[in-house]
Structures are given as C-alpha cells and as structure tokens.
Amino acid sequence: MSLATVPVQAATAVALTGVAKSFGAVRALSPVDFTLRAGECLGLVGHNGAGKSTLMNLLAGVLQPDEGVFTLHGEAIGGAYDVRSAHRFGVRCVFQELSLCPNLSIAENTRIAHPSIRGLGWRRAAARLVGAKLDEIFPGHGLAMDTPVGNLPIGQRQMVEIARAFTETRDKALVVILDEPTSSLDATAASQLVSFVRRFVAGERSAVVISHKIDEVLAATDRVLVMRDGRIVADRPTGAFSRETIVAAMGHAAEQRVAAAAAGARSGPAVVTVASADAASLPLAAHKGEIIGLAGLAGHGQTSLLLRVHEAARRRRPGIAVHSAVALVAGDRQADGVFPLWSIERNMSPRWLRHLTRRGLIDLGAERGRAEDWRKRLALVCKSIESPILSLSGGNQQKALFARALGSPAGLVLMDDPMRGVDVGTKQEVYRLIRGEAEGGRTFLWYTTEMDELFHCDRVYVFHDGRIVREIAAADLTEERVVQASFEQAPAGSAP
C-alpha cells in the first residue's frame, strides 16, 4: 500500500482514500474514498458481492489493500496495517461469518480477542467483562460465561460475537464494524442491539452497520453509503433516504409483496405431521402445496423441529410422520451448509445427483447446465461456478444453498431462517420462487426471524419454550399476534 498523510477534519474518525482490492481477476473494490465521522453510525448497504465486507475487512486489518491511504483518528498510517494495528486504533469487527472458537467457552473466546486480559484469574476477569457487556446490550440474555460456544445456537453465538467486540479493557472500542449483526437475532434482540448502538455513538465513538435489513438501517444509522459493484454510488444522511430509494440505489427493482395464502392450499394431503408433545403444545400439519411459517423468539424450538423432521424422513421418529423426500436449507451455513473445500457447482449439486446419473455415471454436462441455470436465476455474483465456494460473499454462499434445495426433487423443503445475508433483490426472487413451487405442489416449512417473511406464508405456528403455542392463518396474521404469542406459555388455540 502506498502511504502518505492526507488532511482530515478533526471530527473524522476514519478516512480511507483511494483504497482498492482485487482477488485474482475479481475486482472486489474499485478505488473508493470512505470516511467515518466521530459520533456517527454509518449504514453500509449494497447487493451481495458489492464489496461491503471487503471494504470493512481492509479497515479491520484482515485484508491488505492493493492501493490507498489510511488515516485513523487524524493519524496517517505509516507502515503495515493489520489486525493488531486496527485493535490498537480501537477498530473492532463483528464478522458476518462468526469468528468464535466453538470448543472454547464464552470467557475464553473473549480472552483471545483481548490479549491484555492476562495473569492469575484471567478467566474470571474475562467472564466478568463480557458478561457485563452482554447484560448491557442484551438484558435477560441468560448465558453462562463458561458455556462452550459450540453448544450455543447461532443467535446466541452472534450475541457473544457482538458483546466481545464491544468489550473494553485498557484498549478502547472506538470504531465498531457490525457486518450483518442481526442476521441470526430475533426481533427483540435486534432492537436491543439497535438501542445499544445508538447509545454507543452518542459519545464520540463510531459504528458501521452492514445490513440487508433496510428498515433496521433506517432506524439505526445517521448516514447511509450504498455500494454497487465495488463502488460507492450514493452517500446521504439517512433522513434523505427512504426504503424505496435505498433499494433503487442498490440497483434492485422495487419490492412487491408476493400474494400470500393460496386459497384452498390446505386441502391437499398432509406431507408432514408432528403430534403435540404434551398438553401444552399444539400439533403441526403441513399439506401439499402449503407454505408454513415457524415463528417466535430465536432458540425456542423452531430449528430443532426442522432437524427432527429432517431425521424422520430417514428413520422413524416418534410422533413425526413425513410422506415425502426432504431438502434442508441450513441457516448456520458455516456449520451445516457449505462444503468449504468444494466449488460452487459441487456445493449446489449433492441433492440433484441421483437425477443426473446415467448408467451409474454422473452426467457432468447436465450438472453444469443446471448449476449455470441456478446461478442466473439467483443472480449469483461469481467469476465462475467452478470457483471455490469460500471465494463467494456470504450472501452468495447462501444462494448456493438455496439452489441445492430448490433444485432437488424433494417435495418438502425445510428452511432454517434461510435468508441470512441475502440481498433485497434476491429475496424477492426467492419469495416468488417459493410461491411458484408451492403452487406446483411443493410444501415448505419455513423458520424465519424476519416478521415480513411470515406474510409470505399460508399459516404460521408460533413457538415458545420448545412448544407450539399458537397457530395463525394468513388472513389473521398480524405482527402484534405473533409477538403476543411468542411470550405465551400455553396454546391459546387458533387466532379468532
């Protein structure tokens, strides 16, 4: 990187001037100028693969720029800039692909990010610091600091990653980057985080929020930068944007709500039934052609139900009957989704292969053709579908998982909060696809933490504490009903 001093205003916390980054032939970032002011919460939005994470990984010292000048808190960086230098300047990052070690406890993971916690009793000190931060950001989180992180569901892991980034020792957190911080949080935790970030920047500290949840960006930020194909294409105070103008600046067509509830969808045969576990839980049934939403606070049994149904398709599970082949779109793509050493194409095709086999041999041409078709349908941004899956941005990896499930012949598709990190334009395409597939007779069980997505469902089951406490038909669905039911201890029957 070429280094020189650039003049900056006193209130500028970060100025990156003319920074560019390529990965081989992929130009991830054209030279861009980026500034972040002290006391500001900046929203960074753009389509999947626009270059948001790359730009922030440069600021976090994870990647080195090909060219450009860095100035932090008025000081021009005069040498190599890496993760350690970023930490010294108070730059912290909450990564989209969580960076916690699964075999270590919450306290031990905190120590890794904060080397100044040392000496006798470091574990207790780390537990106290991160525990206090969790209490401050997510009151009522209920986490024990000696729990191995790998035992936590993804939403709680995301909370730990966030609290760890904001934890302060003698090293202060001055600039915190949050890359898709609420992608696995339910609405309550997400709004706790937004309130905390507003308090955080009320002093002279700054935050950058990367998100595909546009309403959240509008609520949390002071200014919004829109990126497109490695460039910054719009930079305005948040108040000067609306949801529609942000979506348009990203290069997406205007959003349209897909018609909900296919009339009479329920009349088909049951594809899956789950008996009630006890008197405090309702049974579940999904019929051919139905889109069934699973709602409630994160971690209240929705994912575990999907996994039990998935297992029941292979071997008998008490109380669950599955009358179809199943495909799963994993929500925790790092743990359950991608095959990290395989190409994009190979990651898409495992569920299709049986149908692409001729005389015991895989028809590679057909596999390639189908993968190319899904690449186009989902606007997957990549140089080639033969590239490694890990060369894709997070949202594009998620699209490959969609292609794997939707391209399979399975009659029942299980979706575990599958839109994590997927951009607004692709979501619209996927919603249309799901509705079209349902009309063609496919059944969907769809757990989502995004309230808006429940309105694409024909019926919704609300979970609390591992039980189904409410069934709501599309016609009766309101946000208030879902929120109210999320805190119910026992079934209240169908909505009136």
Interface positions with ligand ATP (CB under 6 A): 23, 26, 28, 46, 48-54, 96, 381-382, 391-396, 421, 423
From the CB of 395, what's the least distance to ligand ATP, in Å? Answer: 3
From the CB of 423, what's the least distance to ligand ATP, in Å? Answer: 6
From the CB of 26, what's the least distance to ligand ATP, in Å? Answer: 5
170 exposed, middle or buried (CB, 10 Å; 0-12, 13-18, 19+)? exposed
Q: Which is nearer to ligand ATP, 187 or 419 (CB)?
A: 419
From the CB of 10, what's the least distance to ligand ATP, in Å? Answer: 30
Q: Which is nearer to ligand ATP, 134 or 344 (CB)?
A: 344
From the CB of 48, what's the least distance to ligand ATP, in Å? Answer: 3
From the CB of 252, what's the least distance to ligand ATP, in Å? Answer: 13
Q: Which is nearer to ligand ATP, 168 or 215 (CB)?
A: 215
From the CB of 387, what's the least distance to ligand ATP, in Å? Answer: 7
The three-state (H, E, C) secondary structure of the chain, written as one string = CCCCCCCCCCCEEEEEEEEEEEECCEEEEEEEEEEEECCCEEEEEECCCCCHHHHHHHHCCCCCCCEEEEEECCEECCCCCCHHHHHHCCEEEECCCCCCCCCCEHHHHHHHHCCCCCCCCHHHHHHHHHHHHHHHHCCCCCCCCCCEHHHCCHHHHHHHHHHHHHCCCCCCCCEEEEECCCCCCCHHHHHHHHHHHHHHHHCCCEEEEECCCHHHHHHHCCEEEEEECCEEEEEEEHHHCCHHHHHHHCCCCCCCCCCCCCCCHHHCCEEEEECCCCCCCCCEEEECCCEEEEECCCCCCHHHHHHHHHHHCCCCECCEEECCCEEEECCCHHHHHCCCCCEHHHHHCCCCHHHHEECCEECHHHHHHHHHHHHHHCCCCCCCCCCEHHHCCHHHHHHHHHHHHHCCCCCEEEEECCCCCCCHHHHHHHHHHHHHHHHCCCEEEEECCCHHHHCCCCEEEEEECCEEEEEEEHHHCCHHHHHHHHCCCCCCCCCC
Report the relative pairing of strands 26-37 and 41-46 from DSSP bridges. Answer: unpaired
Q: What is the dihedral of CA 329, 331, 336, 337, to 10 degrees?
A: 60
**What are the distances in angstroms from CA 62 to CA 80, 167, 353?**
12, 19, 37
Q: Which is nearer to ligand ATP, 26 or 473 (CB)?
A: 26
Q: Which is nearer to ligand ATP, 188 or 387 (CB)?
A: 387
From the CB of 214, what's the least distance to ligand ATP, in Å? Answer: 13
Q: Which is nearer to ligand ATP, 234 or 381 (CB)?
A: 381
From the CB of 257, what's the least distance to ligand ATP, in Å? Answer: 23
Q: Which is nearer to ligand ATP, 193 or 381 (CB)?
A: 381
Q: Which is nearer to ligand ATP, 170 or 376 (CB)?
A: 376
Q: Which is nearer to ligand ATP, 68 or 394 (CB)?
A: 394
From the CB of 248, what's the least distance to ligand ATP, in Å? Answer: 17
Of all residues in this chain, which one has the CB nearest to ligand ATP in the complex?
A: 395
From the CB of 179, what's the least distance to ligand ATP, in Å? Answer: 7
CA distance 322 to 328: 14
Q: Which is nearer to ligand ATP, 122 or 342 (CB)?
A: 342
Q: Which is nearer to ligand ATP, 283 or 388 (CB)?
A: 388
